[in-house]
Amino acid sequence: MIPVYGVAGRQVAVLGLGRSGLSAARAIVAGGGTAVCWDDGAEGRARAEAEGFEIRDLTRGGAFEGVAELVVSPGIPHLYPKPHPVIEAALAAGVPVDNDIGLFFRSLGGEAGLPRVVAVTGSNGKSTTSALIAHILQEAGRPVQLAGNIGRGVLDLDVPGEGDVVVLELSSYQTELARALTPDVAVFTNLSPDHLDRHGGMGGYFAAKRRLFAEGGPDRAVIGVDEVEGRFLAGQMTEGFGDDRVIRISVERKLPGPGWSVIGRKGFLSESRKGRQVASVDLRDVAGLPGSHNHQNACSAYAACRSLGLAPRVIEAGLRSFKGLPHRSQLVAERGGVRYVNDSKATNVDAAAKALQAFESIRWIAGGLGKDGGIAALELHLGSVAKAYLIGHSAREFAVQLTSVPVEICETMEVAVARAAEEAQPGDVVLLAPAAASFDQYPDFEKRGEDFIARVGALSPQAISDK
């Protein structure tokens, strides 16, 4: 655990008592402070009370008397579509609001020591990129811990020492609110519309991501420039055409000029500096990183690890031994010549498009709780789809929008997997890439992916042998 710096003898309120909230409360106490806790749900309050924390209804008048600051869990809105009442009360009382990420960064240099911190944000690929960076470092023998939006809560980390590396995956919810953001290396993977109600639109969403760079002042910025926002951000961070503090990443185009860049095109990663190629990696047979979207993740991870001093061949060895993450282009079975791939994390149109471009001859399982705009934009990416099997709340809406491929409304995962398996031929890929949230039928995308895996595992051997 990392004790929070600057809270000794002070009372700190904690709102939201899930993983990050309880972790923050423990770390506040470890730093000599007093944590007073509140959660809108009785279950969360009971968990905190069982650990001996004081429960205080922060919605009541006068609740913030004597409180030095409020620490908020990432799922709680603090600005748009409207602030949570407790946050409104804190702001009205002049109490500053922070989150566990801010507490983590401000606590480095005390008992936490001074590790190198790599922070990864973006719309898609940040989990894979973060895990890949940590894997490469671990394979290279570097002490590394992975935390944030993946793995452990940041304040649950072991106290890092000099020379250690901490890799953080950070969501827009986390970067928007953190009062301290000081990574050594900051990574921006890409940007596509997501969480727009939470950020008041696309501009607010990008501004939340941009804070990691503008507020953090990283020594090195690794920035995907295939969207205009990334190009804008890279331009803001650079001091000139050849400034190698910015490493530009692309999987769509060559990047001219004398700067530092890493591109992934036609299955090859290439690193260029000062106008010449200095290293390359063939990614085509790297099983854990299929498709151009994963090649983008590989480029970002490669650049981050180069920033930390790793040699290209050391990084290549780590890329090749990476097995991938659950629910992200995860090969879960191959039966009767048919591959079954779980990409339940493809919860928006952009992520689903990348998954659909990674494979050929696809039996596509999609649907769930649709987002604004539905999936009509995916019509441009269905050239390899033989048929769509639609599930969940938006199944009928999606069926109307998909005009270029055959569709079948299955409603449940059980029916969709069974029907796709019945109709699949050797060489086909049964791909779960929902392009929708999971909350209509599952508590999260992980449970949805686990259901897909279970349904694949339960397929009749007779149905498979009939292929």
For residue 221, what are the CA distances in angstroms to 259, 419, 436? 13, 46, 31
Residue matched to tokens 């940040």: 126
128 labelled binding-site residue: yes
Q: Where are the alpha helices (DSSP H) in 163-290?
A: 172-177, 196-199, 202-214, 228-237
126 labelled binding-site residue: yes
Through-space distance between the first and last CA atoms of the chain, rounded to whole angstroms: 53
- How many Cα atoms within 13 Å fall on the side-chain side of residue 48? 30
The strand order across the sheet containing 268-273 reads: 144-148, 165-169, 116-121, 185-188, 220-224, 246-250, 260-265, 268-273, 276-282
125 labelled binding-site residue: yes
Q: If we measure between CA atoms, which residue out of 435, 428, 290 comes closest to residue 360?
A: 428
250 labelled binding-site residue: no
124 labelled binding-site residue: yes
CB proximity list for 158: less than 8 A, separation 6 or greater: 1, 145
How many helices (H) and strands (E) in the chain? 16, 20
The SS3 call for residue 442 is coil
For residue 153, what are the CA distances in angstroms to 134, 137, 148, 228, 309? 15, 20, 5, 32, 27
Binding residues: 122-128
Numbered residues of the known binding site for ATP:
122-128
